[in-house]
Structure 1
Amino acid sequence: MIKNGNIINHLKANLNFSLYRLIIIRKILELILANSLLFLDRVDCQ
Protein backbone atom coordinates (compact mmCIF):
# COMPACT_ATOMS: atom_id res chain seq x y z
CA MET A 1 0.00 0.00 0.00
CA ILE A 2 1.34 3.43 -0.96
CA LYS A 3 1.40 6.06 1.77
CA ASN A 4 -0.35 9.41 1.21
CA GLY A 5 2.99 11.26 1.25
CA ASN A 6 4.27 9.09 -1.61
CA ILE A 7 1.16 9.76 -3.70
CA ILE A 8 1.53 13.52 -3.19
CA ASN A 9 5.22 13.41 -4.13
CA HIS A 10 4.38 11.36 -7.21
CA LEU A 11 1.72 13.89 -8.29
CA LYS A 12 4.12 16.79 -7.69
CA ALA A 13 6.78 15.10 -9.83
CA ASN A 14 4.27 14.53 -12.64
CA LEU A 15 3.06 18.14 -12.42
CA ASN A 16 6.62 19.50 -12.55
CA PHE A 17 7.36 17.30 -15.57
CA SER A 18 4.19 18.52 -17.32
CA LEU A 19 5.03 22.18 -16.65
CA TYR A 20 8.59 21.62 -17.87
CA ARG A 21 7.28 20.00 -21.06
CA LEU A 22 4.81 22.86 -21.62
CA ILE A 23 7.61 25.42 -21.27
CA ILE A 24 9.76 23.51 -23.80
CA ILE A 25 6.85 23.23 -26.25
CA ARG A 26 6.11 26.96 -25.90
CA LYS A 27 9.77 27.86 -26.53
CA ILE A 28 9.83 25.66 -29.66
CA LEU A 29 6.60 27.25 -30.94
CA GLU A 30 8.01 30.73 -30.27
CA LEU A 31 11.16 29.88 -32.26
CA ILE A 32 9.09 28.50 -35.15
CA LEU A 33 6.86 31.57 -35.12
CA ALA A 34 9.86 33.95 -35.02
CA ASN A 35 11.48 32.10 -37.95
CA SER A 36 8.24 32.20 -39.93
CA LEU A 37 7.90 35.97 -39.39
CA LEU A 38 11.52 36.53 -40.45
CA PHE A 39 10.94 34.41 -43.55
CA LEU A 40 7.78 36.40 -44.42
CA ASP A 41 9.69 39.67 -43.93
CA ARG A 42 12.38 38.50 -46.37
CA VAL A 43 9.75 37.50 -48.93
CA ASP A 44 8.11 40.93 -48.64
CA CYS A 45 11.44 42.71 -49.12
CA GLN A 46 12.01 40.93 -52.44
Structure 2
Amino acid sequence: MACPICGKPADEKYRPFCSRRCADVDLARWLRGDYRIPGEPVSESEKED
Protein backbone atom coordinates (compact mmCIF):
# COMPACT_ATOMS: atom_id res chain seq x y z
CA MET A 1 0.00 0.00 0.00
CA ALA A 2 1.34 3.43 -0.91
CA CYS A 3 1.30 6.49 1.35
CA PRO A 4 -1.56 8.79 0.23
CA ILE A 5 0.63 11.88 0.78
CA CYS A 6 3.94 11.05 -0.94
CA GLY A 7 3.45 7.64 -2.59
CA LYS A 8 6.21 5.80 -0.71
CA PRO A 9 5.44 2.36 0.78
CA ALA A 10 3.39 2.60 3.98
CA ASP A 11 5.02 1.84 7.34
CA GLU A 12 3.07 -0.45 9.67
CA LYS A 13 3.65 1.97 12.57
CA TYR A 14 2.07 4.94 10.73
CA ARG A 15 -0.33 3.07 8.47
CA PRO A 16 -1.64 4.17 5.95
CA PHE A 17 1.22 6.70 5.89
CA CYS A 18 4.94 6.10 5.48
CA SER A 19 6.09 8.36 8.33
CA ARG A 20 5.03 10.66 11.14
CA ARG A 21 5.66 13.62 8.83
CA CYS A 22 3.10 12.46 6.26
CA ALA A 23 0.58 11.71 9.02
CA ASP A 24 1.07 15.26 10.33
CA VAL A 25 0.65 16.71 6.83
CA ASP A 26 -2.66 14.88 6.53
CA LEU A 27 -3.79 16.09 9.97
CA ALA A 28 -2.95 19.69 9.03
CA ARG A 29 -5.05 19.34 5.88
CA TRP A 30 -8.02 18.15 7.97
CA LEU A 31 -7.60 20.99 10.47
CA ARG A 32 -7.43 23.63 7.70
CA GLY A 33 -10.60 22.24 6.14
CA ASP A 34 -8.97 21.08 2.91
CA TYR A 35 -11.03 17.85 3.00
CA ARG A 36 -14.50 19.31 2.97
CA ILE A 37 -17.50 18.35 0.88
CA PRO A 38 -18.96 21.29 -1.04
CA GLY A 39 -22.56 22.06 -0.27
CA GLU A 40 -25.17 24.77 -0.31
CA PRO A 41 -24.22 28.01 1.49
CA VAL A 42 -25.77 28.39 4.94
CA SER A 43 -27.95 31.45 5.39
CA GLU A 44 -27.42 33.84 8.31
CA SER A 45 -30.65 32.71 10.01
CA GLU A 46 -29.54 29.07 9.90
CA LYS A 47 -26.15 29.98 11.41
CA GLU A 48 -27.89 31.49 14.48
CA ASP A 49 -29.82 28.26 15.18
Decide which structure has the larger Cα Rg and report it. Answer: 1
> Higher helix share goes to which structure?
1
The normalised TM-score by structure 1 is 0.38
The normalised TM-score by structure 2 is 0.37
